[in-house]
Structure 1
Amino acid sequence: MTDGTPGHAIPIAPDDAFSAVSNGRRRQVLLALDQTDASLTASRLATEIAAAENGITPSQVTSEQRSRVYVSLIQSHLEVLDELGVAAYDARAKSIASTDATQPIAEHIRRLETACFAPGNSSNSEGDDGAE
């Protein structure tokens, strides 16, 4: 459901939007793109994503951690984002840039992450008290 605000409209089909955000690494790419006006290299994204996934700073990322993320970005995620129209991937330069869909979809990702995040709450919504 939209709130009628043009800034929140995502200029792609709903199924494409869901496909774009169905993977954590793709969500991280979209959020990173939304924070810059320039294109980002796959190498830089791999380092940032590996750091986030391992709970460390980018300077602490090992080459193995970075390589694992880099390969998945190059072989899958960046091309998917390009095909869906939420980012523009240049395979030759191994870089990705924003499209008109990047900012609104990144905003929806942030809103959903904020709505779902509950610090210190490890219980699920069904209850864990063992009562039936």
Structure 2
Amino acid sequence: MTATDRPLRASDAPSAEPRSEGASLSPDDAFHVLRPFRRRETIRYLLDADDVVKMGDVADHVAAREHETSVADLTPTQRQRVYIPLYQSHLPKLDEAGVIEYDKPRGIVRSTDRLELFRPYLEAATTTLPKRASERAIVAEDGRFR
């Protein structure tokens, strides 16, 4: 069994203490972080997840939402097209913003105290920037974007 196949443990967390850099977040900073669909979906997933998650699980969730399908029905190409930008760009940016702790070599993501600051923005949203210029966002009855 490899490190990515075994269940996550608390000791897998990138650090023992979660960051709580800046208890507040300006609306401009929040909207900047939330602008890309993939970051919004990453934050949404992490708000509902346990403390430590595998990066691949985050990528699967985001890819399924982006392609409006289930994780089980994702193609390898759909997974890879989301996994790579998350791995190289979006997760490092969320880490730099203090929203998550991202252990890139181990593929582990841990929420920080700042993550919870995004919940009101995601819950209050009734519209969002489209995933692509040609698409319109649809908000389900539970307030989640489809």
Identity of aligned residues (%): 32
**Residue 61 of structure 2 contacts residue 71 of structure 2 at CA under 8 Å; is this kept in 1?**
yes
Partner of 2:144: none
Question: What stretches of structure 2 of length at least 5 have no aligned partner?
Answer: 1-22, 128-137, 141-146
Partner of residue 66, structure 1: 79
Q: Distance in 2 between matches of 1:88 and 1:27?
A: 16
Please, which of 36, 48, 70 is the counterpart of residue 57 of structure 1? 70
Q: Distance in 2 between matches of 1:90 and 1:15?
A: 27
CA shift at 1:37, angstroms?
A: 2.4
Which position in structure 1 is the counterpart of 2:103? 90
Q: What residue identity is the alignment partner of 1:106?
A: R
Amino acid at match of 1:31: R
Give the TM-score normalised by structure 2.
0.67
Q: Given the alignment, which residue of 20, 24, 28 partners 1:11?
A: 24
Aligned pair in 2 of structure 1 residues 118, 34: CA closer, same or farther (>3 Å)?
A: closer
Q: Which has the larger radius of gyration?
A: 1
Give 3-state SS (helix, strand or coil) of 2:105's partner. Answer: coil
Q: Is 2:92 the counterpart of 1:79?
A: yes
State TM-score, norm by structure 1: 0.73
* Distance (whole Å) between structure 2 residues aligned to residue 110 and residue 83 of structure 1: 24
Greater alpha carbon shift after TM alignment, 85-94 vs 73-82 = 85-94
Aligned length: 108
Q: More helix by proportion, 1 or 2? A: 1
Q: Report SS of the residue matched to 1:52.
A: helix
Aligned to 1:126: none
| Runs of 4 or more consecutive aligned structure 1 residues displaced over 6 Å after TM superposition | none
Partner SS for 2:102: strand
* SS of residue matched to 1:101: helix
AA aligned opposite 2:103: D
Paired with 1:15 and 1:95, the residues of 2 have a C-alpha distance of: 28
Does the Cα contact within 8 Å between 1:12 and 1:85 map onto a contact in 2? no
